[in-house]
Structure 1
């Protein structure tokens, strides 16, 4: 017995258009969201989605976009907080002279007592009697050592302080103080002395490379007025404070000049937002350099650019560009003046009733007057 099974024909499937991108995906949107009447809507922040490129699909990768992070201030240079300038203990120069004289006199008397003083010296002195000639014994050697040490310490510790100079003293690696006194004084000869110039100083830099906000290469010369305020930090807290100041100026110069363009088109009316405003540039540069140099004991009074020019490799191009901009501005000014003159002439002729012109005649008159004015000025060729 055979059973016949009738097969119902399947409905034809609607062909779906081919995907343009192989990894295409669709998302269903609920219908009730399309007809919401709520006025207040809740904004949900969406994190940026990053899709990598897949081989063979032809899909272009998306750029990774992240939220801009909080700008953090630059950390200030840190120096040992205990390293602060303090006055050193010194004695007047008279004390050193007296000690040295006593040491020399003690050596002479010891030599006379031992009988080793030359006869010529005895004859020259005139007041010394004949030496007892006791000979050099342990006691006399000890007297020699004491008198010699006193003389060396007395004369060896003499130093001369000058106006605008200071001595930074150190003993066995420890800071012992700073001497800012002037004149003759006595300093312990065992300490290490470092002379520091504390006068107001001017430093003119060599042409430093920099770029403006448009990336144009520049050469800038800066004049810095500064002095050493804390000798301990400037000498012991950093290896070379002059080289450190140069690097601070170069870094601050790069930060300040990169914010503004070197020049603006001649037609622009605002000139303050460029590097031509040397007063604002000097103020920003001084503030940055002073903040960087203060922790190491340097006081910066002013840092101002004395010359800002284009780098040699772009100077010729920028000069031609400037000349072209000036020429275009001049031409625009001349054309505006000609158009105003033609308009004023046609308006006066018409309003006074000297001529009655239709549109064609008006256009012809405007053309003739324009040609005449431009030819008379000799600035624009028709």
Structure 2
């Protein structure tokens, strides 16, 4: 009588009643779905001296139906930052020296005008004899004022007014910008007594090296925290024509350029790891100098002199700094304690004073750590 036996695969055993499979090799359970890589579970929680590294290939995760999941956006190519165009003024507007004469020429013209008026008065017979004798003029009885006399008076008056009215004093560090009927005629930088055409309007401008301390301006640190920054700007007017005629107000423009630079450059408080205020000052100086050069203003330095956090975030930043300082102190203390404990245990075992097994070593290390931390006044 023949007997027929059927062989059941090990994978099917124990599946009907929910019990574990019989004797034999236990199959590895896997975490698997349609969008991830297969990872054996026993490798995730393996306890052993040599960790097993599972190489995982890149997986493309797509949106699964009826789950509401969306794929993460892939990082695109970085968009190149285009440099902003610098402001431009009239290319023909540039400083050039104006034509002026020495002050002696104006004095001579004024004296000639006064002399002409005096002679005309004597010629008309209107000069009193005592005054004529004082000026060394002979007595003369004229016939009164006529057309020729009035013409002489007009010429003498114009000559005297032009001579004395064009006198000007040039001072060191100051300049005049001259114009006529809306046209730029030149700049006077000479010093001393000068004669300038009195028909040309003058606009005085300070060309000395100047400094400006700003009020508290808004800024941010490298982490995006709000700041209040006071900057010191050292600057001067390099091109008087562009500074006065090429822009409405060069001082207001400089102030606004500093505010715009603070909005683009993060400012780090002093003592930071990223250069502090020195790095921020160099970046601010470069930006402001590039934007103010086309309008005739030369900037030498833009340096933050006071950096403080805004009132709305000052308390939170202060607490974070205190916590970071406390963490550093604790880490330093713990490192020194561990070194002391290690040195003590090593000396005891090296000199043969004690014989310690693993358990006794752990107890001794624990007791020494507690003792050292208690002696330093820090909690364990």
State TM-score, norm by structure 2: 0.76
Residue 344 of structure 1 aligns with which residue?
343
Which of residues 197, 200, 203 is equivalent to 2:206?
A: 197
2:80 is equivalent to residue 82 of structure 1:
no
2:124 is equivalent to residue 114 of structure 1:
yes
**8 A Cα contact 1:95 1:186, kept in partner:** yes
Q: How does 1:211-226 map to 2 (within 5 A)?
A: 211-226=220-235
Cα distance in 2, alignment partners of residues 94 and 297 from structure 1: 33
Residue 315 of structure 2 aligns with which residue?
316
Cα distance in 1, alignment partners of residues 330 and 134 from structure 2: 101
2:145 counterpart SS class: coil
Taking structure 1 as reference, are residues 247 and 150 closer, same or farther at Cα in structure 2, changes over 3 Å only? same
Gaps of 5+ in 2: 1-66
Cα distance in 2, alignment partners of residues 83 and 104 from structure 1: 40
Bigger CA drift: 65-74 or 153-162? 65-74
Cα distance in 1, alignment partners of residues 124 and 273 from structure 2: 88
Q: How far off its partner does 1:67 sit?
A: 5.8
1:257 counterpart SS class: coil
Equivalent residues, number: 315
What is the CA deviation profile of residues 150-189 of structure 1, one whole-angstrom value per residue up to 9, with x for unaligned ones?
Answer: 1111100011111111111001110000111111111000
Residue 110 of structure 2 aligns with which residue?
100
Residue 242 of structure 1 aligns with which residue?
251
Q: How does 1:289-308 map to 2 (within 5 A)?
A: 289-308=288-307
Q: CA RMSD in A?
A: 2.6
**8 A Cα contact 1:210 1:219, kept in partner:** yes
What is the CA deviation profile of residues 267-311 of structure 1, one whole-angstrom value per residue up to 9, with x for unaligned ones?
Answer: xxxx5415x2x3322222211111111111111122222222222
Residue 381 of structure 1 aligns with which residue?
379
Residue 71 of structure 1 aligns with which residue?
81
Cα distance in 2, alignment partners of residues 61 and 328 from structure 1: 39
Q: How far off its partner does 1:65 sit?
A: 8.9
Bigger CA drift: 330-339 or 278-287? 278-287
Q: How far off its partner does 1:124 sit?
A: 4.0
**8 A Cα contact 1:102 1:147, kept in partner:** yes
Cα distance in 2, alignment partners of residues 348 and 62 from structure 1: 57
What is the CA deviation profile of residues 208-254 of structure 1, one whole-angstrom value per residue up to 9, with x for unaligned ones?
Answer: 22111222121222222211111111111111111111222222222
2:265 counterpart SS class: helix
Residue 356 of structure 1 aligns with which residue?
355
Residue 282 of structure 2 aligns with which residue?
283
Q: How does 1:154-173 map to 2 (within 5 A)?
A: 154-173=163-182
Q: How far off its partner does 1:84 sit?
A: 0.7
Taking structure 1 as reference, are residues 355 and 180 closer, same or farther at Cα in structure 2, changes over 3 Å only? same
Residue 273 of structure 1 aligns with which residue?
274
Cα distance in 1, alignment partners of residues 143 and 72 from structure 2: 104
Q: How does 1:31-46 map to 2 (within 5 A)?
A: none
